[in-house]
């Protein structure tokens, strides 16, 4: 059975840590940053760890 291609869109949005966790960057940090308060930008810039079915699905898309 041939391997699936990895999903390049998923690889741009998530990262697998050294321990195998799936980290993702939140949305709303791509543009219009001058209209957001510094407090909101700080909160949005924090990475988050995905759990459960979402993490398993993204690991499949990345071929891990």
pLDDT tens digits, one per residue of 1-57:
577 788 898 888 899 999 999 999 878 888 999 999 999 999 998 989 999 999 999
The pLDDT, as a whole number, for residue 40 is: 94
The answer to whether residue 48 sits within a structural domain is yes
Go through the chain and tell me how many residues it has.
Answer: 64
Tell me what pLDDT residue 1 has: 59
Distance between alpha carbon 16 and the CA centroid of its chain, in Å?
9
CATH number at residue 38: 4.10.410.60
Decide if 3 is inside a domain.
no
Pick from 5, 2, 13, 1: which is nearest to 58 by CA?
Answer: 13
| Structural domain includes residue 2 | no
Domain count, the chain: 1
Domain of 22? Answer: 8-62
């Amino acid at each position: 059975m041939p391997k699936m291609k990895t999903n390049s869109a998923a690889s741009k949005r998530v990262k697998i840590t050294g321990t195998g966790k799936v980290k993702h960057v939140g949305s709303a940090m791509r543009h219009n940053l001058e209209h957001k308060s510094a407090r909101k930008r700080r909160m949005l810039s924090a990475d988050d760890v995905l759990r459960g079915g979402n993490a398993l699905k993204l690991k499949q898309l990345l071929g891990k």
